[in-house]
Amino acid sequence: MNYRHAFHAGNFADVFKHALLARLLLYLCRKETPFRIIDTHAGEGAYDLCGDEAARTGEWRSGIGRLADLADAPHETKALLAPYLDCVGPFVDGRPALYPGSPLIAQRFMRANDRAIFCELRKDAFDALSKRFSRDKRVKTIHLDGYTGVGAFAPPAERRGLVLIDPPFERTDEFRALLDAFFNAHRKWPSGVYALWYPVKEPSLGRPFVAELKRTETKRVLRLELCVGGSCERLNRTGLIVVNPPYVFEEEARSIVSFLTSRLAQGQGAEFLVETLAGE
């Protein structure tokens, strides 16, 4: 594996994914019973936006950097984004010093009896991840292919929780691997909340993925996509499939993604999609 997320931390795809993830985690906290988080491709856990990698690409500037000042944002939108931005922390010179990856965001929502499993295969990323969470007894970091991990750890003892499958999309068969891992876990744990992230590098590659989700008997499947427009030379569209979303999540997600489409736009063609693929 060659992918290093430090070059892309805090970009538009991270903002889209993590703002929605925070809403999902918030709703897990509304019941007193404990929950389990399974993150299949956890990365390093957090990223230094002042570091060499982030400085070389500067992708955070057109992502989290554009949320440094929300004075002109609608009150409702600011309220919906607040849990995510609380995880991001204060901005200094237009950026947070440390951008939280999904593991750190999950940790911020966990209570005393909640648990998390963070899988990471890349050795240097795992070493950083393991060190970051070594003192948190609620968290288990595992040097393992997350596709294997999600099948091995579902269902959790808590019976409530969320699985984030967020692969680097280095493999040519990544959509197939993502679907197989999801279906394997979902058969064992149909009541869990699943968030499946994907980049839209070439629209034709994702069509069979979406079509297969439509054909399955999986209930309550929501598809969200954000396109920032502009040049297609870089990734400019990303998506998230949410299985078993909370009741009000679709309405909230539409408000968030609509705002992000405007705020994060990089040129002509910025648009968003909120679509129900399957429903009860």
pLDDT in tens, 42-101: 999 999 998 888 888 889 999 999 999 999 999 999 999 999 999 999 999 898 989 999
What pLDDT, on the 0 to 100 scale, is given for residue 207? 87
Is 166 one of the catalytic residues?
yes
Give every CB contact of residue 14 below 8 A, 6+ residues apart in sequence: 8, 63, 64, 99
User: pLDDT per residue over 98-135, tens digit each?
Assistant: 999 999 999 999 999 999 999 999 999 999 999 999 99
Task: Extract the tokens encoding 71.
Answer: 């004075």
Residue from 14, 39, 114, 166 carrying the catalytic annotation:
166
Q: Give the pLDDT band of residue 222 (cuts 50, 70, 90).
A: very high
Give 26's pLDDT tier (boundaries 50, 70, 90): very high
pLDDT in tens, 174-207: 999 999 999 999 999 999 999 999 999 887 778 8
Is the model's pLDDT at 2 over the cut of 60?
A: no
Q: How far apart are CA 196 and CA 46, in angstroms?
A: 20
With beta carbons less than 8 A apart as the criterion, state whether 75 and 36 touch.
no
* Alpha helix segments (H runs only) across the chain: 12-28, 52-57, 75-88, 102-109, 123-132, 146-153, 174-188, 203-215, 249-263
Provide the residue count of the chain.
Answer: 280
pTM for the whole structure? 0.95
Contact 225, 207 (CB under 8 A): no
Structural domains present in the chain: 5-278 (3.40.50.150)
